[in-house]
Amino acid sequence: MQKLVLINLNSKMLKFLKFLIFVSFLLVIIVLFFQDIVILHPVKLPKDYVYTFDEPFEEINFSPDSNIYINGLLFRATNSKGLVFYNHGNADNLQRWGRLAADFTKLGYDVFFYDYQGFGKSSGRFSEHVILKDAVFLFDKLKATYAGKKIIIYGRSLGTGVATYVAKNRNSDALILETPYYNMADVGKSWLPFVPFQKFVKYKFPSNEWIKAVDSPITIFHGTSDLVVPYSSGLRLSKTSDCKLITIEGGGHKNLATFPKYHTELKKILE
């Protein structure tokens, strides 16, 4: 009788293990072959879409290549001290990101947001190479109009890799990273530790390497309750260079701006 019970248990365990292996294999296939969909979530907007914000703004289009245009929004501060060049996260479009403008304009800085190719009203198709190339192009265009003023490079989530790449290749007064990752493979490992992301991930964004070549002061904001990019990833990144890590206890991936500490520390940086 005991043998029959053991056989049944072993059979059920074997079936369960086979199911786990199948599900794991399916997840690997989805992640590796549909990376554009898994990593980036653009929301397109019609060309005639009219943005609505409480803050006054200027809509600007830049053309990095023929037949390609990047849609951007410039919010101006009174008696501006300089510019915050903002590289946003992996989803939505400027209608969402532009709502953050007041966090910077109230501190005396103009802020420029832009949509990556394939996001919002921006044309073209995104890739890691395209995103990085466009970011440097836009930074150069904007910096030329802010001669003698401070230029701050800001990145959030996916945009932290973009911001770090720009700061590696161009001089700025500060680099600010909100909820950054060590590199993209590190984020993948936190979700699926059995997948060799470092070998197969198409979007690498090796911030851990780029940050070593950044000369400007670096500040990292990260929350201890981040379920998208783990706090450990930002902590690990902070140890690869001379960074100031600002830990937001209980902060998640999308809500750091709801914590007073975020605004207090941001004000110190931008003063």
Query: How many Cβ atoms sit within 10 Å of the Cβ of residue 234?
Result: 27
Provide DSSP, 16-39: HHHHHHHHHHHHHHHHHH-HHHHH
Cα(101)–Cα(84) distance, integer angstroms: 10
Is a pLDDT exceeding 90 seen at residue 35? no
Confidence of residue 3 (pLDDT cuts 50, 70, 90): low
Nearest Cα neighbor of 118 from 110, 108, 128, 109 is: 128
**CATH code for the structural domain at 43-270:** 3.40.50.1820
Copy the structure tokens of residue 6: 């053991």
Cα(161)–Cα(209) distance, integer angstroms: 10
pTM of the full structure: 0.88
> For the chain, what is the mean pLDDT?
90
Domain boundaries, the chain: 1-33, 43-270
Burial 20-39 (b: 16+ CB within 10 A, else e): eeeeeeeebeebbeebeeeb
The tens digit of pLDDT for each residue in 203-221 reads: 899 999 999 999 999 999 9
Nearest Cα neighbor of 176 from 71, 268, 62, 253 is: 268
The tens digit of pLDDT for each residue in 150-169 reads: 999 999 999 999 999 999 99
Q: What are phi and psi of 31, to 5 degrees?
A: -65, -45
Contact 153, 218 (CB under 8 A): no
Window from 73-77, 195-199, 234-238 with minimum mean pLDDT: 195-199
The tens digit of pLDDT for each residue in 97-150 reads: 999 999 999 999 999 999 999 999 999 999 999 999 999 999 999 999 999 999
Helix (H) or strand (E) holding 61: strand 58-65
